[in-house]
Amino acid sequence: MPASPIALITGASRGIGAATARLAAARGWAVAVNYQQRRDAADALVQDIHSAGGEAIAIQGDVGDEAQVLELFAAVDRHWGRPLSALVNNAGVVDKPCRVEDMSAVRLERMFRINVLGSFYCAREAVRRMSTLRGGAGGSIVNVSSGAALLGAANQYVDYAAAKGAMDVMTRGLAKEVAGEGIRVNAVRPGLIDTDIHASGGLPHRVRDLQHLVPMQRGGTAEEVAAAILWLMSPESSYTTASFTEVSGGRL
């Protein structure tokens, strides 16, 4: 039997990342579950995957810290001894609602360091391992952007929306850069999805409060986003690169 393809999913202890890890494992991927702080959640997820007969390990690491990203990828290399086939750049943060005129340098630095630099560090390490020009076997990178990149998130978090906009441009540019090297790069843009991220931004009822703005009149689930990510990870999307998939109930 051929060895399972390896997927590294950043920020996979909770929310969209955790749903993606579960679905990937159920579909035969060996999954590296990256997390930053919630070791309990990452370990419980890995345990669940093992109980269901899947393959997974949990690896701590802040994607916004280059040295920790290098160690994260090295840990994946050490554990499986073969290169990864998919990277999901999912780890991301929001902050409290704030107008641009009130945003501190500390806030802006964190927002762009984790969401943008983190995605670049991880994409770079993935390309170094996947590129056929470097002896790799190709692969798929999926960036988890946001509908905010299109909407702008005025009066909530324009910084977050701008960071996701940067991820979108990286998706398009990197996709073209490595398209001839066996690597596809795509993005999903989730809309209002029911996860902990809203409480972390001080708005625990954000999905309930804003769902009337969604044409489908409801928030989405992490599993609904995971399904789109899995398609983009898999060879079923073999001719799709530099693409953007809205998972937003029609809200654009």
Site for ligand NAP in 1-60 (CB under 6 A): 10-17, 34-38, 41
Confirm if 157 and 148 have CB atoms less than 8 A apart. Answer: yes
Measured distance CA(71)–CA(78) in Å, rounded? 10
187 Cβ contact list (under 8 Å, min separation 6): 142, 143, 144, 145, 167, 168, 171, 243, 244, 245
Q: Identify whether 160 is a catalytic site residue.
A: yes
List the one residue from 5, 83, 92, 139 that touches ligand NAP (CB under 6 A).
Answer: 92
We find the least distance from the C-beta atom of residue 183 to ligand NAP, in angstroms, to be 21
Site for ligand NAP in 167-226 (CB under 6 A): 190, 192-193, 195-197, 200
We find the least distance from the C-beta atom of residue 211 to ligand NAP, in angstroms, to be 11
Residue from 35, 121, 157, 160 carrying the catalytic annotation? 160
- DSSP conformation class of 117: I
Query: CA torsion 57→3→143→239, rounded to 10°?
Result: -170
We find the least distance from the C-beta atom of residue 28 to ligand NAP, in angstroms, to be 23
Instruction: Report if residue 91 touches ligand NAP, rule: CB under 6 A.
Output: yes
If you write DSSP's letter for every residue of 48-60 in order, what string do you get?
HHHHTT-EEEEEE
Could you list the active site residues? 160
| Footprint on this chain of ligand NAP (rule: CB under 6 A) | 10-17, 34-38, 41, 62-64, 90-93, 114, 144, 146, 190, 192-193, 195-197, 200
